[in-house]
Amino acid sequence: MSEEPKVLLVARKGPVATVILNRPQALNALNARLLRELEAALAALAADPEVRLLVITGTGTKAFCAGADLTELVGKTPDEARALASWFQGVFNAVERMRKPVLAKIQGFCLAAGFELVMACDFRIAADTAVFGQPEVNLGMVPGAGGTQRLPRLIGKTKALELLMTGERINAAEAARLGLLNAVVPVEQLDQAVEEFIAKLLSKSPAALGIIKDVVNRGLELDLEQALAYEAVQFGAALGTANAQAGLKAFAEKRKPGSK
């Protein structure tokens, strides 16, 4: 009996963990098994002190992720569908709330729940072959894994409503123009572009990166006065870290941090 293929792969290279959606025969669509394994992997990597940064990507060149596996929605009741949407949202919230940078490496189709997963990441670098969209409306459905909330926060209400209500797809260049992507590169340069971006992040204090991510995300949920107060508290917390003390000492001594 042959072993069943793994639907999720995790590769480690130093402080970087790459999480790979591995259902290429289904364009890496998220079924219950894959979502369950993704949830467990994210929890383990968030708790691992050796991991400083995560990359999420998909196997193959055809798709990052084409969405949820719709075959598993057939026959579900409204209550069961609501519970499934809440599960997807919880997993993607874990990506957004993790105190470590998470980068999406994208090529091919990035649709529906796949697009919603990408929007929960902190950074998005795409090949020029990438295609984005929320096509649920074409089946008489609506996004349920965060698309109706994160998309307008990222690109504004007007354009978000257009994409959500028409179900139209956009290419990588348009996604970048709308502010969804950090970079678009030729597909053969995707690996290099991701490695260069990772190197920039790894050169910074991991504590500072975690605090910045938390302050930005938390601040977007607060009014400006509350957000500024929270920023001041976290400024103090950052100043108390060993990295900040070393950086200030280096500045006072007119040298680069880490140099003697």
Pairing mode, strands 53-58 and 102-106: parallel
Cα–Cα distance between 147 and 117 in angstroms, integer?
Answer: 9
4, 37, 136, 174: the catalytic one is: 136
Confidence of residue 245 (pLDDT cuts 50, 70, 90): confident
Catalytic (active site) residue 136: yes
Q: Is the pLDDT of residue 32 over 50?
A: yes
Which pLDDT score is estimated for 1? Answer: 45
pTM, full prediction: 0.92
4, 39, 116, 231: the catalytic one is: 116
Which pLDDT score is estimated for 158? Answer: 97
Cα–Cα distance between 189 and 193 in angstroms, integer?
Answer: 6
Q: Is the pLDDT of residue 7 over 90?
A: yes
Cite the residue boundaries of each domain of the chain with CATH code 3.90.226.10.
Answer: 8-202
Burial class (CB in 10 A: 0-12, 13-18, 19+), 36: middle
Q: What is the mean pLDDT of residues 139-166?
A: 96
Which pLDDT score is estimated for 243? Answer: 77
Which pLDDT score is estimated for 239? Answer: 84
Cite the residue boundaries of each domain of the chain with CATH code 1.10.12.
Answer: 206-252
CATH of 206-252 given 1.10.3470, 1.10.12, 1.10.10, 1.10.530: 1.10.12
The amino acid occupying position 218 is R
73-90 residue pLDDT tens:
899 999 999 999 999 999
183-208 residue pLDDT tens:
999 999 999 999 999 999 999 999 99
What the block records as the tokens of 253 is 């001594």
Hey, what CATH topology would domain 8-202 get? 2-enoyl-CoA Hydratase; Chain A, domain 1 (3.90.226)
Q: What is the mean pLDDT of residues 235-242?
A: 84
